[in-house]
Structures are given as structure tokens and as C-alpha cells.
Amino acid sequence: MDVFTSAAELLRDRHPERPVLALRPHAAQRAARWFLANFPGRVLYAAKANDAPQVIEALVEAGITAFDVASLVEIERVAPIQGAELYFMNPIKSRGAIVRAYRDFGVRHFAFDSEEELEKIVEETGGAADLTLFLRIACPNTHSLIPLEGKFGVPPDEAPALLLRARQIARRLGITFHVGSQAVVPVAFGEALKQVGQLIVESGVLVDAIDIGGGFPSRYPHSNPPELASFLDEVVRAADELAVRHSCELLCEPGRALVAEAESVIVRVDARRGNALYINDGAFGTLFDAAYSGFRFPARLVTGARRKSKPLTEFALYGPTCDSSDHLPGPFLLPDSIREGDYLEIGQIGAYGRVLANRFNGFGEYDEVILTDEPMLSMYIGVEQQTPVLASMPA
């Protein structure tokens, strides 16, 4: 894959017809190093967030060896990685997927959130005695921009009995939750861990692991969360209050926070109508969250630098398909001099960008390059790689 020092260098003598996925593997590597240095437990990469081989390779080079996977395809993708440990954390799995995960890929870690799913796992693994089972509990998603609640998670009144039942089956037993994606305040994790503590007390069941899921935030023009260290401080504080803290492993499953900064998309303006720009990628491409989740991504004019006027103007964007929902309201701040034929870099699309792109209307094909410059926004630049002081959990 071609390497450039910046989007501007890429566009110096090329005019790509297709949108360009611009990877910054070094940003994924920096994020992974930060989590591995600062999280007092095991760090799993949530494999659904970005499937680019160069991104996964960067995470592995940084030291990531454990993966949260939700499907056989994700399992097949990461299983060949040397020393990979797979956690099949989708609370509802097909029988066929459980069989193949256990038998063909050596998966021993499974999540469940109902009696039926627990029995399914027991049956399809032939009553295996070497399972680590994680009970997924429902927890409020009120502190996150993309709530994931409602679909999964056992309600508090049913959790104690299910935990007790699983204790009789599992070699190792865990509790897991997900606070929702792009959690914007640390207390989201504290509140969920408090619920875990209540469940342990109420059920009288000891657990061996607590998996706090993903949800750690990245930085966007519409969301400027406190530093990641404050999230881990809150996790450690709340975990220290649990009765099981000395015998319990802590795990986390960041997706967004590891890969958001690792990709931009470089798009061309095919038309300007007032303050709306029609570009060659959109809601059915890498910019789904800008259309459907109220996200604003950072944008900058790459070509026509001599026309870079200030102050910046607010633009809305339209993607290339014929569907009127292919509309990204933004606003995106760009120079007023922008015109047809210009190229823009839209940053922070590394999480849930390329993986959501589809081929609607014949679009959805990209060129790919690597850029060596820094991402447009970052949670990690200028942050010290401190070692955890409060960590009391065994790794």
C-alpha cells in the first residue's frame, strides 16, 4: 500500500476518482499501547470496529492478543493471529457458530444473557468443563451517545438465579456489561460496576472475572470527553469497592477508542449548492454515523490551499447515492471558497466507518493509502503513558 506524509502529498499529483481510505496505523498502535499500559487487566479489541488488516496488525504489534468477536467471520479473521485469545461475546449465537468456535477455533470464552443461551452453549460444546462464561447484564446507557441497551442483557431481577446456574457449569465465571458507545462521563462505568457489586452480594456467587465492555470515547467536534485516564480512575475506584476485587480479573473491550483516530476518508466535492456540498462518500459509505447518529466529524480542505479563507463557513454534506437520507447535516466547518473538484479530508472515521460501508447504488469502493502524519483530533497526543498507581486487580 502506498505511503504518504499527508493527504496533501497524496493529492499533489493525483486526482483519485474513488474516495480514499487513509489509514494511520501508528494512531491505532499508540492507542493500544496506552490501554495496555494503563488498564489494570486484560485489554480485548472489539473486532467489529475496524477490520482493516493494517489496523489489526498495528494493534497486535502494540501487544493486543485478545479479541472480542461476535460472529464466525470475525473469528476466522483474527484466529490465525499468533497467540490470539478469542472471546465470543455476542449474547445470542447460532448453534452452528458455537460448535465451530469451540471445536475448530479453540474458543473457550462465551457470553450469555438467558437460560436458553446458557443451555445452548452447554449442548453445543458437549457439556465442556473448560468454559469461561460471562453473564451479560443490562445496565443504563444514559451516559453514552450511541446507546446499545434494550437488545441484550439480563434484567436485575433475573440475574442472580442465572449467575448461580452458570456457576455450576463454568470453569471460570464472569459478569459483563456495555455502557453504550462513546460514553462521555466516567461515572457510566462506576454506576455499572456498582450494579455488578449488588448482583454479587444478592446472589452470593463469587465470580472470577469482570468485563467492563467497550464504550470508551474518542474525540469529535460535537463531543470533547474528559481524558481517558479519568475513565480508568473511575473503573479502578469502583472495582476496589467490590467484595471480589482481590480474586477477580478485570477485562475491557474497547473498539472505538482504539481505532477511531486510525482512519480518515478523502472525498471529492462533485457539486456545491449554496452551503451544501455533494461529495463522493456518505451515509451508505464510511459516514453512517454522521447521517444516523448525529455525529460530526472533523473536516478540512486539502486542495486549493491558497483559497483557505477564514472565518470558516458551516456546510452540510450529501453523499453520492440517490437516497435523500444520504444527508450529513453536520455542520462541517470549511472555507467558503470551496468549489467543485476540491478534495476534503474527513477525520476520525476509523471506528464504524469502513465496516458499515455498503455497495448501494454502485458506490462503496475505495482506494486505500497509509498516511504518516497525525490524526485530525486525538485522545492520546500529549498524554503521558503513566503506569497505573491505583491498580489492585491481578492481571
Ligand X SMILES: *Cc1c(COP(=O)(O)O)cnc(C)c1O
Residues in touch with ligand X (CB under 6 A): 46, 48-49, 68, 89, 178, 181, 213-216, 253-257, 351
Residue (7 or 131) nearer to ligand X, CB: 131
Residue (111 or 170) nearer to ligand X, CB: 111
Rounded to whole angstroms, the Cα distance separating 294 from 32 reads: 27
Burial classification of residue 1, based on how many CB atoms lie within 10 Å of its CB (0-12 exposed, 13-18 middle, 19 or more buried): exposed
278's enclosing H/E stretch is strand 276-279
Are 240 and 190 in contact, with CB atoms under 8 Å apart? no
Are 284 and 323 in contact, with CB atoms under 8 Å apart? yes
Residue (37 or 92) nearer to ligand X, CB: 92
Are 251 and 35 in contact, with CB atoms under 8 Å apart? no
CB of residue 257 vs ligand X: minimum separation in angstroms? Answer: 6
CB of residue 173 vs ligand X: minimum separation in angstroms? Answer: 17
Residue (4 or 216) nearer to ligand X, CB: 216
CB of residue 393 vs ligand X: minimum separation in angstroms? Answer: 19
| Residue with the three cell numbers 478540512 | 300
Residue (256 or 354) nearer to ligand X, CB: 256
Closest CA to 57 of 78, 37, 73, 71: 78
- For the record, the C-alpha cell of 274 comes out as 449554496
Residue (21 or 111) nearer to ligand X, CB: 111
Q: What is the DSSP letter of 226?
A: P
CB of residue 111 vs ligand X: minimum separation in angstroms? Answer: 7
Rounded to whole angstroms, the Cα distance separating 103 from 88 reads: 13
Give the residue at shortest CB distance from ligand X. Answer: 214
CB of residue 223 vs ligand X: minimum separation in angstroms? Answer: 13
Rounded to whole angstroms, the Cα distance separating 150 from 134 reads: 18
CB of residue 181 vs ligand X: minimum separation in angstroms? Answer: 3
